[in-house]
Structure 1
């Protein structure tokens, strides 16, 4: 009967799932060429995944920006404008040809370009990034501040996401950059002019929770940790009956602990332990 056939199929699927790694989607371990709908599902998932860029602001690679800077196209100019607008003291940011890099000759008759051949390509690429301040050209990776270098590194990801409708996931967006720059980057995505790109990010800057000006309640999520586990929940979960309205000062609520996700460090115990050890050492010395 049909019910028996469905039972057999269900049993087969359950058996298959029991031997499949929990870290792999079923459509990746099945020969999808034999199953039209499963193959279609796989293509949708793959297409979605290929549109996601995940970066950590504490370890963001410059190579992505370098690759865009190598190609003389519209995106390159937009990346440069983004960097220049973020750093008002910078006149220009460019990826220059090797003949514009001044290299000092070493001892003997060896030519500079012969030494260059021994330098790894990725290092050479970074040397060719040049910033200009008041007409003075300097190697970006050597002279620019950490914040400026991070802006230069994230610039390509931001521009590509907005131009191509990609999804940008950024860990600690506010790391080493001015709070106004953080807000400006967020505003580029949280804007009616942006119709297809998305940015998901984590921050420690609670000033960004000003949902009356920047976000809707459902756009703000908290991560709460305790001894039993980690919990993720939305600001929208808090109702007017719980004292969270559209006019509520969310930052003040958070500071008072009404929204959870507030660290409770006990570093004073470490200080007392240190002081106790010091006093104990003094007593032993006497």
Structure 2
């Protein structure tokens, strides 16, 4: 479980910003839970304000932990994305720090990197609430904690390149005290990007899994897409089968495979829709972008709910109706559908997610965050809780009205520029027309 994430000098985040997931209002806790962190966080803000950069920073940290030992070239430096609008930032480290609660034990892990190397790294645990240093590193020197066997860590230290995280190698060298944090980054932290598109393969697997995981079908029905059932069937893919599957636009790749290899069996996914004469089976590729997006996303949401962990989604509302997005969020808020205390962190432009559904807040007061970018291009992250909102206030309306910030400011010059451009374009077109019909002097 993620308790907090801090980052500095990454893309538009110039100075340290903290996303704190620890509850602020006891009265807003989901009923029947004692979770030490909120199960949902939504980050809102204008375009290009830094929402995706916050997600990217956590993703960068995870990538460094899991694969810096594989990706880094000897003496190759460190690939990073420091703040570019301040020359001083290029010479300063970028910092990434997480507080985690894993199997009832709190851990703090962080590191700083510049263009050349890891400048600092540390890992502490807090069994029974008391700090226990597992290791600290400054430059090439690693200091084992009092509880660690210095001989074993000395071997790991000797093979750790300057541009590689010590944790990456120590956890893979059977240093069991380090495994919980490494495993969280490797297996319990998941990301879904912005441009998922129509990922036919993932949607197809979702239909395959619908029999083993009936909650997928229940979610499809609840989405009011007119879907009654779904499944897979075996087809002999000769030319006639291809035409039934794809219509007149058969992918040329499949035609070449048919010519080279002959007919073969494939599994065809289908979705059954309500019709006047009963359920009609339709091909998956005939479904709307929204249906395919749901089929692509639903298995990942449901998987993290079953197993636990932290799921980070950039632009959660892409291709999905706000009511459906609210329903997905609601699954994380309820201990019955979220027995493992899984977390959902998402970014969105959809202000309706700050409102209510069926009389309940979609997001609690300590679950909404905002980002703003100032005139120097620097991102600031702050919580709705800082405004001390009343429980009953209309947060959606207040956000759209600018009470919390995090909204774009578009002044009258925008409309004036469009109007002037429109007038200029009309005048240019008229001049061109006149030039075509009126003879010119020789």
Tell me the TM-score normalised to structure 1 length: 0.73
Greater relative contact order structure (CA < 8 Å, 6+ sep): 2
Shift in Å, 1:145: 1.1
The count of residues paired between Structure 1 and Structure 2 equals 255
Shift in Å, 1:222: 0.9
> Do the aligned partners of residues 270 and 41 (structure 1) sit closer, same or farther apart at CA in structure 2, a change above 3 Å counting?
farther
> Cα deviations across residues 23-49 of structure 1 (Å, max 9, x unaligned)?
x54312558638x4xx52244322343
- The separation in 2 between residues aligned to 1:117 and 1:81, in whole angstroms, is 42
1:148 aligned residue: 291
- SS where residue 282 of structure 2 aligns? strand
- SS where residue 139 of structure 2 aligns? helix
Shift in Å, 1:283: 8.6
Question: Greater shift after overlay, 255-264 or 88-97?
Answer: 88-97
1:186 aligned residue: 329
- The separation in 1 between residues aligned to 2:386 and 2:191, in whole angstroms, is 27
2:270 aligned residue: 130
Say what the alpha-carbon RMSD is for the aligned residues: 3.8
- SS where residue 379 of structure 2 aligns? strand
2:139 to 15, 31, 48: 15
Aligned partners of 1:80 and 1:94 also within 8 Å:
no
1:270 aligned residue: 417
- The separation in 2 between residues aligned to 1:72 and 1:249, in whole angstroms, is 38
- The separation in 2 between residues aligned to 1:57 and 1:148, in whole angstroms, is 16
Aligned partners of 1:62 and 1:152 also within 8 Å:
no
Aligned partners of 2:312 and 2:344 also within 8 Å:
yes
Aligned partners of 1:130 and 1:140 also within 8 Å:
yes
1:237 aligned residue: 386
Q: How does 1:1-286 map to 2 (within 5 A)?
A: 13-16=137-140, 20-21=162-163, 25-28=165-168, 33=173, 36=175, 40-56=177-193, 58-60=195-197, 61-70=199-208, 74-75=212-213, 77-99=214-236, 102-104=241-243, 115=258, 128-133=268-273, 134=275, 135-141=279-285, 143-193=286-336, 194-195=338-339, 196-210=341-355, 213-228=361-376, 229-239=378-388, 244-266=389-411, 267-275=414-422, 277-278=424-425, 281=428
Q: Name the one with the larger strand percent.
A: 2
Unaligned runs of at least 5 residues, structure 2: 1-121, 123-135, 142-160, 249-254, 435-442
- The separation in 2 between residues aligned to 1:47 and 1:188, in whole angstroms, is 22
> Do the aligned partners of residues 66 and 279 (structure 1) sit closer, same or farther apart at CA in structure 2, a change above 3 Å counting?
closer
- SS where residue 49 of structure 1 aligns? helix
Question: Greater shift after overlay, 179-188 or 54-63?
Answer: 54-63
Aligned partners of 2:271 and 2:284 also within 8 Å:
yes
Shift in Å, 1:174: 1.7
> Do the aligned partners of residues 281 and 191 (structure 1) sit closer, same or farther apart at CA in structure 2, a change above 3 Å counting?
same
- The separation in 1 between residues aligned to 2:321 and 2:208, in whole angstroms, is 28
- The separation in 2 between residues aligned to 1:251 and 1:161, in whole angstroms, is 28
- The separation in 2 between residues aligned to 1:186 and 1:132, in whole angstroms, is 26
Unaligned runs of at least 5 residues, structure 1: 1-9, 107-111
- SS where residue 204 of structure 2 aligns? helix
Aligned partners of 1:169 and 1:201 also within 8 Å:
yes
Shift in Å, 1:82: 2.2
- SS where residue 317 of structure 2 aligns? coil
1:109 aligned residue: none
Shift in Å, 1:279: 6.3
> Do the aligned partners of residues 283 and 145 (structure 1) sit closer, same or farther apart at CA in structure 2, a change above 3 Å counting?
closer
